[in-house]
Amino acid sequence: MRGLLALVPILAGILLGPSPVRAEIAGLVGRWAAETPSGRVELLVEPAGRGVALRLARAGRVLFDASFAPTDRPGVLEATATGLFSILGSRRAPANPLEGEELLWAREAEAALIVSRLAIDAGRPSIERAQLLRAGERVRLRLERLVGERMVVELEAELARTGR
Amino acid sequence: MDRRGLLLGGACALLVRPAAAESPLERLFGVYVGTARVEDGEGRPLEQRDLDLTIEPFRRTGFRLRTINVSLVDGRRDLPGVVRREVESVFVPAQRRPYFVEFRDPSLFRPREELQPMAGDPVRWALVDAEGLHVYAFVLLEDGRFELQEAHREPTTDGLALRFLRNLDGVVVRRVVGRVVRVR
């Protein structure tokens, strides 16, 4: 009997799949914006299955635009396929940086969602990430980029909910 | 000039033709020995190492990198506690890209597997430029943070200057600085 009970969480895991994103992350859902010295920042977060779809743009330039689904690793999300790849039946987005593709992933860090990207740019690593944290009625955004040895903060802003 | 003269002239031209210039990669081929200092991210010394390094051609366009690290005890390699590590990696040119990728040998018994960085597969590549040889390894950790290792080997008048970094999610946590001289 005890053996059967031990199987319950395993069976539940198989039936339910990876855990959905946490409530704090779900609190990011919506349309957000802020005016910054480097231009208008716009963020759209929508539920997408058990994960989220996210679009972040600064001064009209799209920084991140992807859907993320939970993986078997708690709190880690992978980019899901869109367009032709999803039509062809692939769940995962192509993500081999050695073949010129971008590796996009996200992780839940306490109440924040951190979305990251690795690409190989002219043979050197290019890593960017956006940290999103619900702070009261706003979303606190921090954009970082790998410069030399360190992640350097490029922008910090507080985004307010917007109807547009 | 008659036909014999033309042939002789052509032969002389071939003989005196200068050797093709070495590529930046070929200039690095050799055997080196030296030392390195290991520091934590704050620059505090952790240990001293002896190094053996070999950079050699692999299948005409690639290269093999062999490193033997000996972590010393009190600056000596003849005391208990000394650790010796051998690391070998092979890189071949990436298709239509200006860098090298780790060679993964597809054999009859071990078909080539697709690289899956999301599952924790290390992404390894190398760049050779005018400054030297730069090897990178990226791993997505279990909790979604990343680790990026960089090893830079830059030619000096008598060998190579070495610089290694281990970057944990954007913070340098380990640094190795050293130099090796060419012995072959």
B170 touching chain A per CB within 8 A? yes
Q: What is the CATH number of the domain that holds A123?
A: 2.40.128
**Average of per-residue pLDDT across A136-146:** 96
Distance CA A109, CA A115 (A): 10
Beta strands in chain A (DSSP E): 30-36, 39-48, 51-58, 61-70, 76-79, 103-109, 112-121, 124-135, 138-147, 150-161
Residue of chain A minimizing CA distance to B101: A98
In a domain, A49, yes or no: yes
**In angstroms, rounded to a whole number, what is the distance separating the alpha carbons of residues A98 and B98?**
11
Picking from B99, B144, B172, the nearest residue to A149 by CB comes out as: B172
**Given CB atoms, is B99 within the 8 Å cutoff of chain A?**
yes
* B171–chain A nearest CA distance, Å: 6
Q: Report chain A residues touching chain B, CB-CB < 8 A.
A: 71, 73, 75-78, 92, 95-100, 103, 105-109, 114, 116, 118, 120, 122-125, 127, 144, 146, 149-151
- Tell me the pLDDT of chain A averaged across its residues: 85
Task: Quote the domain boundaries for residue A80.
Answer: 18-161
pLDDT of A143 strictly over 90: yes
- With CB atoms and an 8 Å threshold, state whether B144 touches A144: no
Position A40 scores a pLDDT of: 97
pTM of the model: 0.85
End-to-end Cα, chain B, rounded Å: 47
Count of structural domains within chain A = 1
Closest residue in A to B127 (Cα) is: A123
Tell me, what's the pLDDT at A27?
A: 87
Query: Is A85 within the bounds of a domain?
Result: yes
* Chain B residues with CB-CB distance to A124 below 8 A: 127, 134, 136
Contact between residue A29 and residue A46 where contact means Cβ atoms under 8 Å apart: yes
Residue of B nearest to A71 (CA): B118
Give 10-residue mean pLDDT values along chain B (184 residues).
56 54 92 98 95 96 97 95 96 95 74 82 96 97 97 97 97 97 95
Alpha-carbon distance of B166 to B46, in angstroms, equals 14
CB proximity list for A130: less than 8 A, separation 6 or greater: A56, A63, A64, A114, A115, A116, A141, A142, A143, A144
Output the pLDDT for position B90.
Answer: 97
Per-residue confidence (pLDDT) for residue A23, from 0 to 100 = 65
Strands (E), chain B: 30-40, 45-58, 62-71, 83-93, 100-102, 123-129, 132-140, 146-155, 159-168, 171-182
The structure tokens listed for B90 are 């092979």
Residues of B in contact with A95 (CB under 8 A): 117-118
Residue-range domain boundaries for chain B: 23-182
Tens-place pLDDT, residues A27-79: 899 999 999 999 999 999 999 888 999 999 999 999 999 999 999 999 999 99
CATH topology of domain B23-182: Lipocalin (2.40.128)
Respond yes or no on whether ipTM tops 0.90. no
Contact present, A79 and A105 (Cβ < 8 Å)? yes
Judge whether A10 lies within some domain.
Answer: no
**CB of B115 within 8 Å of any CB in chain A?**
yes
Q: What is the DSSP letter of A97?
A: G
CB contact under 8 A, B101 and A98: yes
Q: Three-state SS for B121?
A: coil
Cβ contact (<8 Å) for B146 and A127? yes
Phi, psi (deg, nearest 5) at residue A94: -60, 135
For residue B175, the chain A residue with the least C-alpha distance is A149
Where does B64-154 have alpha helices with state H? none
Mutation target to probe the A interface, by most A beta carbons within 10 A, among B123, B135, B166 is B123
pLDDT of B30: 97
A95, A109, A144 member nearest B117 (Cβ):
A95
Q: Is residue A135 part of a domain?
A: yes
Q: Do A118 and B170 touch (CB under 8 A)?
A: no
